[in-house]
Amino acid sequence: MVIADRTKELKKLWALNNFEKIKTYQKAWREKNKEKIKAQKKVYYYENIEKIKFDKKETYILNKEIIKARTNAYYHANKEALIPKMKAQGKKYRAKNKEKIQEKNKIWWAANPDKRTAYLAKRRAKHRVPKWVDKEEKFLIVEAYNLAKLRNKMSNIVWHVDHIIPLLAEKASGLHTIHNLQVIPAKLNQLKNNNYEV
């Protein structure tokens, strides 16, 4: 046991004294055996896929804030190079998984009709959304659609989210902001149509 411990110590000491030599040798060996290492890693990954996924998830949960901060910092430092790359990857993914995305969207839209309505209204009003509309106001806009949905459930009449000053009226043009929205019965909204008296 004493001899084994002494041998261990001597090996450790030799490794410390020849650190650079070992490092150079290992680098050269890795370069020479690139394909072999790649194949071994692949085999190991598929044999331990569940463990790896669990470990990654656990690591992320434990270091969530650090990982987020690091990712955010990296993104902002390399924004110019990353954006075109990300757009290209997104385009490629969407083209490859068109049906999968459509199905996922269909399920999400069905579960979030209020958000869908707000999104469609925003899309229609695309050119009428000012740049100063912040997250808080966007939240309030979605809440207006939630209110309409709630009133639909609670009463026997249909409610709409209406633009007080229509987006494309003949004599005026309103903005898609919370100050220009009101929740009114659908009949009133249809009567009003796109008309606005200045």
Three state DSSP letters for 138-162: HHHHHHHHHHHHHHHHHCCCCEEEE
User: 0.75 exceeded by the pTM?
Assistant: no
- Give every CB contact of residue 146 below 8 A, 6+ residues apart in sequence: 114
Percentage of residues in the chain with pLDDT exceeding 90?
Answer: 20
Question: Does 158 reside within a domain?
Answer: yes
Do residue 133 and residue 42 come from a single domain?
Answer: no
What's the pLDDT tens digit per position in 129-177? Answer: 777 888 888 888 889 989 998 998 898 889 988 888 887 767 777 887 8
Do residue 78 and residue 122 come from a single domain?
Answer: no
pLDDT reading at 1 higher than 60 = no
Do residue 7 and residue 92 come from a single domain?
Answer: yes
Which of 90, 105, 120 is a domain's end point?
105
| Cα–Cα distance measured from residue 111 to residue 116, given in angstroms and rounded to the nearest whole number | 9
Residue 6 lies in domain: 2-105
Question: Does 198 reside within a domain?
Answer: no
Residue 175 and residue 129 in contact, taking contact as beta carbons nearer than 8 Å? yes
